[in-house]
Structures are given as C-alpha cells and as structure tokens.
Structure 1
Amino acid sequence: MLLNDLIDDCLWLIFDNFFELEELIQLSKVCSKWSNLIDLRFKKVKYLLNRVTIKHLDHSKVWMEDPETIEVYDLRELLPNLRAIDLFPYVGDKPWISSNYRPMVDNNPKIKGLVDLTDGYNLNLENIEMVAMDNKMMEYKKLFCPDQLKQIYFDCAFDLNDLNELVEYFPNLKRINVKFCGKPVRYDGPNLFNLKIFESTVDGQFGTCNAIHVMDFCPSLESAYICDQSDDEFTNMARKNYNLRDLVIVNTPSTDNLTWPFLRKLLSKYPNLHNLAIDGGYKMDDSRVTELVKLLPMIKLMDFRGSKKVTVKSADFLSKFCLESNRSIKIYYDCEKEPNDWPKYDNPRESIVYGFDFMKHCFYRPFDDLPRLIDE
C-alpha cells in the first residue's frame, strides 16, 4: 500500500507528530490531499515558538527553525488561530528584526501575547495583553494604553521604586515576573487587586532588593514564587492573605538571608496555604516540618528536596500524623532514589504555556525556567 492510499484518519495521525513549521509546509506541498489535511493541522496552532520546547502531542504549538520562513510565507494566513508568538530577537549573537512580523500582529485581534519583544519591531500593539520584554519595558507608556496589559514578564533588572508607577498604569495585572534590583525600599504604590501570580527574584549584579512585602498589597494573590530574598523589614506580619494557595521559596547558598524566625512568621500569614516548596537555606530540618504542620492547617503538599536536612523521618512523622488526624499531606524530600511518581525538575522549558495553572507550569521549575507567558 502506498502512503497516499491511507485513509485520512491515518494520515492525520502521522501529521500530528510533526511540530516543525518548515517540515509541515513541505509536506503540504506533496499534493492537494496532504495540503488540506495539514491545513486542518495548522488551524489547531495557537503558539508559534522559536525554540524546540514542545511537549509530546501538544498540537497547539509549532516551532520555526529558520527565521527566514517568515520572509517567504504569509504566516497570518497559514496559521489563522495564532494567539502568541515567540519572536526571533537574535540569530546566533546578532540582532534580527523582520518587518514581516507586522502583517501578523498589526490589527490582528487574535494575537494576545508576544515573547522577546525588543527594539526595532515597530509593531501595532493595541491588541496585546501578555508580553515578555527586555529593558524596552521602561518605555511602556509609549507602547501600550493604560490598563492594557494583564501579564508582564521582565527580562531585565527592575527597580522596586518603579513598580508603583507600573501598577498605577496597569492596575489589572494578573501575573508579573520580575527581577528586582537596588537597595531595600518600601513599596508605596496602589494595591494589585487582580494579581493572581507573583514571581520575584533579585538581580545579583545590581543589589539585594526585598520584595516579599509586595505580597501584602495583593489581596487576591493565589500563587507566589520568591527567589533569593532576605528578611523583609517592611512585611506586615499582622496582615493575612486567605487566598494564597501555592508558595515557592528558593535561596541559593550565596543569598541565604532568610532566617527561620522570619519565615515562620511569614508562613503564618497564609492560613489557607495548600502547597509549599522550600529549596535551600533556612536551616530546614525534620523538627521544623513538625512546626509547619501545626502552623499550616490546610497544607496538602510540601516539597523539601532542596533542604538536605529534611529526611525520611519527616515522611514517617507525616504518615502517623495523617492517620491520627484524618488528613492527607504529601512530602517530597531529599533521598537517594526518588519514587518514579514524584514530579521532576528537569522538564524542558516552555516559553508559552496554556492554562492559568501555577502548580502545573511553575511550582516544580527553577526560577529561570518559568514560562514567559501563561495563556488563560
């Protein structure tokens, strides 16, 4: 039997295993039958990437191997349902800007997200709601209308003092990922009433900014990822957040400036916390796991694989505790042979992901591997 004699359903299954845009384009040129089937495949695509980071059978994504492809083909027509694009800011170590991105983005109400937006694109951004940017973000008032953006990922160092003005301009942000710099200062800006996900680290080259207390201004916050922070003197320990469900705290050995007394008070602010990960430092050990269980009455999962002093003793304690209290608490800890069903940290990075799910896309990843855009 010839390949072309296969029924459409079989060919469809074959084409669904191709994720490189250039390969799919070449296959569509074989005959009209293949062209029609691959056209249906293209209509599934929501995200165009420039990196090979596609999980198996994720038909919402294709990746572009050669940036010149955009010079040859009308990708707005080819991929009619695109929602977000991972741009090509560089080819090798040289800047690469294409004017052909403009027909894809300008006046296209379907495109909602751009990754690696940088100088030189000169795009009409009026429909964009999610963006990952370099230091061009400092000119955001020239690029976006007030209250336009719902999600921002900064690929640059950002001064905490500048957050006040940013929040005032974009009051309905739902997610922000930022590397702060500068000396510790108090955030005195407006509340981030709609923020659901807050991800913060410190740019080691430019200071030791504290940003934990920013969470006090996020009454709807559900998930937070705090990396390389110190005890924050501005945190209001009396202010509770009953919405926070997921919290990741990571400190490298060189930035281990969070003390256990501060951390204990901080966690008491989040009585409905369900999922907690602590990686590095804090002198976490088995005795403090016992404290945390009493401190967090709603806790369901604790990931301490980055804390070497949390051992099987904590797992044994939790097993007995859960039996006596009729609760269910999972614990992951540092051990020589991790069970196969434990979540992995080494999944490939995805620059754009679908579904506003912090536990699925962020909780088990290093900070530098967090997605740039999370499409709702």
Structure 2
Amino acid sequence: MLINELPDDCLMAIFEYVNDLDDLINCYKVCVRWTYLITERTKKAKYLQEDPHQTYVYEKHRWYDDSDYSDPFRYPINHVFYQGGNPIDVTCLNTLFPNLKILLFTNKFLCKMNRSDIVSFFGNLESLKGIIAESGNPFAENCDKLEMVSAFASELSKIRNCSRIKQLYTGDFSLNAVKRYAHDFPNLELLRTSILTKGSYHMSQVPVFEKLKILTLSTENEEEIFDGFHFMDSCPNLQSAHITMEFNRFFVDETSKLECLQDLVIIFKDDKRINRNDLIRLLMKYPNLKHLALRGARNLKDEHIKQLIHILPNLVLFDVRGCPSVTRKAAYYIQDYCKRYGRSIKFYFIRNRHEIESDWPQLSTKNEKISRGFDFMKHYFLKDNFELPHFLIPIDY
C-alpha cells in the first residue's frame, strides 16, 4: 500500500510524530491533501524551540547531553523543534502556527530566516505570549502582547508595552539597575535576574514590586556584601525566592519582615564559610517559611539547625544536604522536637539526601526551559540556578 492510500486519520496519526520544523514544512508542500493535514497538525503546536538533542547542560565541571535517545517519540504534540542552519520557506509559517505561545530562538533560528521575515512572522502572531531570546535579539519591539520575556537587559527597552509583562528573565549590571523594573514592568509576578557587576544597593527611593511572587537572583562577584535580601524587602508579597551568591557576607535589615515568604532556597557557591549569626538573623525575617533549603554553607553545624527550628514555627521541609558539617545529631534532635511539640518536619542532610526525591515525588529535577504551572516548589526547589526554567507557563497554555 502506498502512503497516500492511507485514510486521513492514519496519516494524521503519523504526522503527529513529526516534530521537526523542516520536516513539517516539506510535508506541507507535498500536495493539497498533505497541506491540509499538516496545517491541522501544526495548529496544535504552541512551543517552537531548538532541538533538545542538540542542547547541552553544564554540571559539576563537565558538559553532558541532556537528551534521552531511548524514546524518539516522547515529545508532546504541542512542541515543534528546529535544528541546523538551513534556510526555510517562511511564507507558510503563520499558516502553520496560528496558536504559537512561546518562541525560543538562538542563532540557529536567525540563520534559517532573515530579519525582515522574522519581523513579519512576529508581527502577525496574535497568539504569541513569550519569547526566549538566547541570541540576544528578540525583536520584542514588534510584539505588543507579550507576557513573558527572556532576553538581555539591553533589549528590554525595545518592548513597547512593558505593563503586560508578568515574567521576566534577564541579566543586569547592579541591583540598583534592577530597581527600574518596578517602574518599567509594574505587573511582574516572576523575576529572574543575575547581578554581574559591583555596586551597592541604595534603599533611598526604593520602588515596590507590589505583585512579585517569585524571585530568582544570582550573583557572580565575590568582593561585595550581598544586598539581595535587602532587595527582597522591596517585594512585600513575595512568596518564593531562589538565591545563588558568590558572597559569604550579606546585609540584613532586621526591621523589615516578609510575612508572605513561604519558600526559600539559598545557595552559597563554592562551599562558603558564612556568618551563622547573620543567617539566623536573616531567617527570623521570614516567620512563615514552610520550605527551606540551605546549600554550600560548610560551617553550618548541628547547634545552628536547632536554633533555626525554634525560630521557624511553620517549617515542614528543611533541606541542608549541601551543608557537610550537619550530622545525624541534628536529625535526631528534630525528630525528638517534633514528638514533643506535635510538629512534622521533613529533614534532609548528607546522610539521607536521596530520600527527598522519594518523599516529595512532585518536585521536579528535570532540566527544561519551559515548565507548566506557576509552582515554585515543583520547578525550582530541588534545582541549581543553571537548571531553572525561563518561564512557568499556565496549565491552560
């Protein structure tokens, strides 16, 4: 039997396994019948990104391929991938992808289309809600309806309707520079940013990030006192924070408390020796913490764990697997403390570090650029900064 003798539903079942952009375009051009079927198939596509078989992840000082070749058909039907730098026929893109929500493009995508074609493609995409621009040129000036942007800071001024942006991932120069996001992007609910240069954080005329619920902050400067926790004080409704810092010193303003903060991950890179009293003073600012992870504080010891348990009355998950000086004594103390005071705290240190994934199977360790659901615990808590997704997209996207 020839393939064109198959009924439409059989052909459609086959096309649903085609996820490569070049293959879909080539199939689209075969005949009128295939044009119709491919169009029906690509209407379901919501995410266009680079082929993950060609992406690599850095972990523990080595690069490895983050792909699973055992199942070539594992990709969901709403994802389409591109690879290579071969030019494509762009005339059919808007017909093929009328419901595209997220576009991730790298230099490979720019090689497949010229600038004018990309601008035309963007301008006609009424459905587009988010751009991940790893190439440094998101053409965001042509998209007025974006709700999510991942781009270099120099590109953000090109967005004409910043008030629509709810999720922003960018690098910047200093914490003082980040403050302008409160003015330019007043409706931010998720901010992921990196501080790459020196510069103190001045609290004079500090804007308030009124709607910010999730903050991810990383730094790459060892010589400064970390002001990121001071910056968090400008986010009164912040619920979750993921902090990665080169510093071992940080500023604490004890006059301010964040009552809404429930989830907190603090990673001290390169196993820092920290001021443990400052850490205790810091965590006293967050009385309603439920989930806490401390990683890389190599001089954090059992007696400090005991102190923290007493000042955090709502804590239910405590992860210190990255603190090598914490021993089984702390675990025994917490177990006894919970019995005496009727509390339930799941505690993880280096000896039982593998139990957290079985106890909390809903917490993901998957490295992905887009995660479904606005859920910090699921998509952020167990991960290092380089593993975090760019966007947390709504379930109905």
TM-score, normalised via structure 1 length: 0.83
SS at match of 1:252: strand
Counterpart Cα distance in 2 of 1:213 and 1:294: 24
Are residue 190 (structure 1) and residue 207 (structure 2) matched? yes
Question: Which one is further off, 217-226 or 202-211?
Answer: 202-211
- Identify which of 130, 140, 152 aligns with 1:134: 152
- Rate the CA distance shift 1:326–1:2 in 2: closer, same or farther, 3 A: farther
Q: How far is the alpha carbon of 1:272 from its aligned partner? A: 1.2
| RMSD of aligned residue pairs (Cα, Å) | 3.6
SS at match of 2:187: coil
Q: How far is the alpha carbon of 1:319 from its aligned partner? A: 3.4
* Equivalence for 2:129: 112
Give the counterpart letter for 1:147 in structure 2.
S
Give the counterpart letter for 2:208 in structure 1.
N
Q: How far is the alpha carbon of 1:148 from its aligned partner? A: 3.5
- Rate the CA distance shift 1:280–1:78 in 2: closer, same or farther, 3 A: same
Counterpart Cα distance in 2 of 1:263 and 1:5: 70
Is the contact made by 1:67 and 1:88 (CA closer than 8 Å) also made in structure 2?
Answer: no
> How many residues were matched structurally?
370
Are residue 249 (structure 1) and residue 259 (structure 2) matched? no
- Rate the CA distance shift 1:277–1:336 in 2: closer, same or farther, 3 A: closer
The gaps in structure 1 that reach 5 residues or longer are none
TM-score, normalised via structure 2 length: 0.79
- Rate the CA distance shift 1:261–1:99 in 2: closer, same or farther, 3 A: same
* Equivalence for 1:171: 186
Q: How far is the alpha carbon of 1:264 from its aligned partner? A: 0.8
Is the contact made by 1:164 and 1:187 (CA closer than 8 Å) also made in structure 2?
Answer: no
Q: How far is the alpha carbon of 1:267 from its aligned partner? A: 1.0
Counterpart Cα distance in 1 of 2:112 and 2:174: 26
- Identify which of 283, 286, 290 aligns with 2:302: 286
Counterpart Cα distance in 1 of 2:203 and 2:94: 42
Q: How far is the alpha carbon of 1:134 from its aligned partner? A: 1.7
Counterpart Cα distance in 2 of 1:74 and 1:335: 57
- Rate the CA distance shift 1:71–1:245 in 2: closer, same or farther, 3 A: farther
Per-residue CA deviations over 1:287-332 (Å, capped at 9, x if unaligned) read 3222222111111111212111233443343334334433322222
Give the counterpart letter for 1:302 in structure 2.
F
The gaps in structure 2 that reach 5 residues or longer are 56-66, 69-73
Give the counterpart letter for 1:194 in structure 2.
K
- Identify which of 323, 326, 351 aligns with 1:307: 323
Q: How far is the alpha carbon of 1:70 from its aligned partner? A: 4.7
Give the counterpart letter for 2:391 in structure 1.
L
- Rate the CA distance shift 1:337–1:88 in 2: closer, same or farther, 3 A: closer
Is the contact made by 1:284 and 1:307 (CA closer than 8 Å) also made in structure 2?
Answer: yes
Per-residue CA deviations over 1:53-93 (Å, capped at 9, x if unaligned) read 7895544323212354654463322122111110123579x
Is the contact made by 1:179 and 1:200 (CA closer than 8 Å) also made in structure 2?
Answer: yes
1:84-233 correspondence runs (5 A): 84-89=102-107, 98-116=115-133, 118-119=136-137, 121=139, 123-137=141-155, 140-154=156-170, 156-180=171-195, 181-188=197-204, 189-204=206-221, 209-228=226-245, 229-233=247-251
- Identify which of 272, 279, 303 aligns with 1:263: 279
Counterpart Cα distance in 1 of 2:213 and 2:172: 22
Counterpart Cα distance in 2 of 1:300 and 1:218: 23
Is the contact made by 2:226 and 2:250 (CA closer than 8 Å) also made in structure 1?
Answer: no
Is the contact made by 2:379 and 2:388 (CA closer than 8 Å) also made in structure 1?
Answer: yes
Per-residue CA deviations over 1:34-61 (Å, capped at 9, x if unaligned) read 7766545433322211141789554432
* Equivalence for 1:64: 82
Per-residue CA deviations over 1:343-376 (Å, capped at 9, x if unaligned) read 6999453222222111111111111221122223
Counterpart Cα distance in 2 of 1:316 and 1:27: 63
